[in-house]
Amino acid sequence: MLLELPNHDINIDTVTIYKQLAKSNRALAELKGYSATIPNQYILINAMTLNEAKDSSAIEQIITTHDDLYQAMSKDKVRDAATKEVLNYRHALWEGYQYILKRDIITTALIEHIQRIIENSKTGIRKVPGTAIKNVTTDEIIYTPPQSELEIRDLLADLEQYINLDDGTDPLIKLALIHYQFEAIHPFYDGNGRSGRILNILYLVLMGLLESPVLYLSKYILRTKKEYYVLLRKIQQDSAYFEEWVVYILKRGRGNGKGNAKNYSFDYRGDGRVWASVKGKVAETIFEGAS
């Protein structure tokens, strides 16, 4: 099921949603304030985006370790495919963040650029019909996204307009609708989930809820992966589940608030190295141009 956005048929003005919304906005404000106290924002962003990239990729069964990532970052060539994909994700998130800083807008072209970096591919928007979402166990088709490139581009153009439209809806509630709509459009052959999760973070930066992409969103989805996909499938069949979906997305923001940045402390070395302590575990990380 695709949404018409803005959508006045979906009831998002419920007590349950607004109670959770207040908690989530408070948590994001705390994170924004706390992250501003970190003396070197470049290093904070690098550390946070690396973890976000790792867990977002893990949702798609692309598994790597922090050790592999840190070692790969100090080498010219990455041989391990999973590590390379995670670093591609991190690069895509950084590129998107720089785009927002310069242009203060999210566009279809930006989303396509992000997916190209993630997948290291130029296939872009789906052009050949036949894509369907299937139950991996039974092979049953559970959702069929739009098939023609023209329809997909029209839907992305509508989504772009909605993202950048100030219609009075709280940005966190809009985030839930934007995320669902992007997943329902399913514009690419691959990389939809990861592109969508980057879009989430960039939207929060665009709306001023974050100064930089330091919210660690994918950890919550990874931990509640079954619930996430069950809710997506429920909504595709019945819009009555939208309250449950919005609350789930709001909890994701709240559950990964100030604790994101508070897990990190940094020790700056004179040789250009930075030692990052994550929950008491020390790992050497090298960030070019961090000083």
Reported as a single tens digit per residue, the pLDDT across 239-281 is: 889 999 999 999 876 555 444 455 544 444 444 444 444 443 3
What are the extents of the domains in the chain? 15-285
From 107, 32, 3, 47, select the one nearest 258 (Cα to Cα). 32
| 26-61 pLDDT tens trace | 888 888 887 777 766 677 777 777 777 787 788 877
**Identity of residue 56:** S
- 196 has binding-site annotation: yes
Round to whole Å and give the CA distance between 97 and 108. 15
Q: What is the pLDDT of residue 77?
A: 61
Residue with tokens 């559950």: 255
Residue with tokens 């934007």: 178
- 130 has binding-site annotation: no
- 190 has binding-site annotation: yes
- 233 has binding-site annotation: no
pLDDT tops 80 at residue 4:
yes
Is this structure's pTM higher than 0.85?
A: no
Round the CA-based radius of gyration of the chain to a whole number and report it: 19
For the record, the structure tokens of 264 come out as 């990190």
Contacts of residues 90-94 at CB distance under 8 Å and 24 or more positions apart, as own/partner, are: 90/49, 90/50, 90/52, 90/53, 91/117, 92/117, 92/118, 92/194, 92/195, 92/198, 93/49, 93/52, 93/53, 93/198, 93/201, 93/202, 93/213, 94/45, 94/49, 94/213
- 229 has binding-site annotation: yes
Contact by Cβ (8 Å): 54, 86 = yes
Report the catalytic residues: 186
Q: What is the pLDDT of residue 5?
A: 84
Q: Which residue has the higher pLDDT, 3 or 107?
A: 107
Q: Which residue has the higher pLDDT, 60 or 156?
A: 156
Q: Which residue has the higher pLDDT, 57 or 108?
A: 108
Domain 15-285 has CATH 3.30.750.24: no
- End-to-end Cα separation, the chain, in angstroms: 49
How does DSSP assign 216-265, residue by residue? Answer: --HHHHHHTHHHHHHHHHHHHH-GGGHHHHHHHHHHHHHHTSTHHHHTEE
Mean pLDDT over each residue of the chain, to the nearest integer: 81
Q: What is the pLDDT of residue 182?
A: 97
State whether residue 278 is helix, strand or coil.
Answer: strand
- 193 has binding-site annotation: yes
